[in-house]
Structures are given as C-alpha cells and as structure tokens.
Amino acid sequence: MRAEILDPLALSDTSPDLAGGPDDELAAGHTALSYATERRVIDHVGTAALAPATGFLATAADLVAFYSALLPGDDRLLGDDTQRQLRHRIWDVRKAESWYGLGVSLLRVGEHDLFGHGGGFPGHITRTLACPKRRVVAAVLTNAIDGPAEPLATALFSLLDATDSASHQLAPDGARFVGRFANLWGVLDVALLGGRLFALNPMVANPADDPVALEVVDGSTLRMVSGPGSGSIGESMHYEFAADGAIRSVRGGSAMTMHPFEIPG
C-alpha cells in the first residue's frame, strides 16, 4: 500500500489501523443523540477482522488527495480506461439517483455526476465525493455516529449549482464582507461563491436550498436582491468596520444586528 498508493500520492497523514501515532492525535468518536441525552466518547479500538474495509485512518486532506488521483487525466493510480470502468454503473441502489460501480458509489446531485464512498466505524461517519466534470472533491469526516457527513458533502455541490444559476452581479471586492455572524436568533454565513455574494443558513442540512443573493451597494453596504419569499428581499445589510478592516457588526434583515461568530477556544 505504501509503495503503490501512499508514497506516490504523498499521503503522509494516512496509516494502517491506529499505527499513525498516539491516540491524542486522533479525533474522539462519540455516540449518537438517539442513544442517550448526552454524547459519550467511544474508545479507539483496532479494526481486527474489519481491517480490509476500515483498516486505515486518514485526514480529510489526504482523502481529497486520494480521490483527486482518480479524476480523469490523472494516471498516478489508474489509467483513463480503468477509471471509466471504476465509475461504470454496475447496479442500482434503492435510492433516487444512486448506483454502485467498482468499489465506489455513484450518485447524481443536481447537475453533478459524482463518485466516492462513505465510511463508518464506532463513533465516526464519513463521506467523500468527487466530480469528474468540475474536478472538485469534497471529504467530510464527522466524529459522531449520527454525524451528517453525506448531507454536508452533497451540499457543497448544491452550492456550486446555485452559483451557476445566479444572475446577480459579480462582487470583485466582496471578500471584505465575508464571514459568519450571529445574534440571539441564529447564525448567518456571508460567502463569496463563484465571484458572487450569498447569505446562507449554516444550521440547515443543505444551505443551498434557500440562498439569499447579495449585491454590493457601497463599501459598507450590501442589498438582498433575491431569495426565499420569507426573506428580507430588498433590504440592506449595513457593515461596521474597525480601522484595520475587521468587521465589528452587521445590521441586516429586519434591522437586527449580528456580530462576528467566534468558536470559544
């Protein structure tokens, strides 16, 4: 494995079955909330007889690097013909727009034909998806049995569809408005996607379901130009900046003020 895959792809954070370092370098797995009212940490265990399926540990970055090597035009692992066979639909899965190929799952999300795989081990759920057409790979690793790995991975490709269909103006100076903001009522992401600004709700499974398109009015103001009917379309978002350009606050929909969201610790 090292000679054929790990070294050629420089996967330095991938190793077999807990052989990569001390346990304190590993994400602690947790039980599901359906199991108890509070999550409990699950001790790391070797994969034993499951090693052929789950015997490697890796980071999200290494998973992205591995699947990137399976994109068309990259022959470090497989040639183009073998890659096509890998992604050929061998049998249907009882799930809308979902199939299985040779060792990879296949699904369609919006305009994207994707391949990849999920993973599960006590305390962990993962999902990696790759798009040959866009040459984009998303790897989501969660450390809870009920972690939303697949919804988060597919949401990325739904967001890409939203940027493709967007008709509002590009925002070349939009980076200064980007951030995560919060108040008593919730959390809001202002994101620059495909050169355009959007307001997204990061608390839902698929933030691309109801994105709010934003346009730049001036150096401290955005306008909400389209989005769900219940949104504050037509209203402005006024930013207050510090002298160094850092965002102090945003007064947005319904004139409510939000502040930059920071994760403690």
Reported as a single tens digit per residue, the pLDDT across 96-109 is 789 999 999 999 98
Q: Note whether 81 and 201 are same-domain residues.
A: no
Q: Note whether 124 and 223 are same-domain residues.
A: no
Q: Of 131, 164, 197, which marks where a domain is finished?
A: 164
Give the pLDDT confidence of 52-70 residue by residue, as tens digits: 888 788 999 999 999 999 9
Q: Of 123, 144, 164, which marks where a domain is finished?
A: 164
Give the pLDDT confidence of 203-243 residue by residue, as tens digits: 887 787 778 999 999 999 999 998 776 678 889 999 999 99
Q: Note whether 109 and 202 are same-domain residues.
A: no
Q: Within a domain: residue 49? A: yes
Q: Note whether 223 and 135 are same-domain residues.
A: no
Q: Are 167 and 201 in contact (CB under 8 A)?
A: no
Q: Note whether 186 and 235 are same-domain residues.
A: yes
DSSP-based three-state secondary structure for 105: strand
CATH number, domain of 92, equals 3.40.710.10
End-to-end CA distance of the chain: 38
Q: Note whether 204 and 86 are same-domain residues.
A: no
Q: Of 164, 196, 228, which marks where a domain is finished?
A: 164
Q: Note whether 181 and 159 are same-domain residues.
A: no
Q: Note whether 125 and 145 are same-domain residues.
A: yes
What whole-number distance in Å separates Cα of residue 85 and Cα of residue 82? 5
φ/ψ bin of 139: left (φ > 0), alpha (ψ from -120 to 50), beta (otherwise) = beta
Number of domains present in the structure of the chain? 2
Q: Within a domain: residue 169? A: no
Check pLDDT > 90 for residue 253. Answer: no
Task: Tell me the whole-structure pTM to 2 decimals.
Answer: 0.80
Structure tokens at 232: 């504050």
**Residue 251, domain extent:** 174-260
Q: Are 141 and 60 in contact (CB under 8 A)?
A: yes
Could you count the other beta carbons within 10 Å of the beta carbon of residue 10?
10
Q: Within a domain: residue 82? A: yes
Query: In Å, how far from its chain's centre is CA 136?
Result: 11
Q: Note whether 232 and 134 are same-domain residues.
A: no
Q: What pLDDT score was predicted for residue 226?
A: 83
CA dihedral 213, 215, 221, 227 (to 10 degrees): -20
Q: Note whether 138 and 191 are same-domain residues.
A: no
Structure tokens at 91: 């049998």
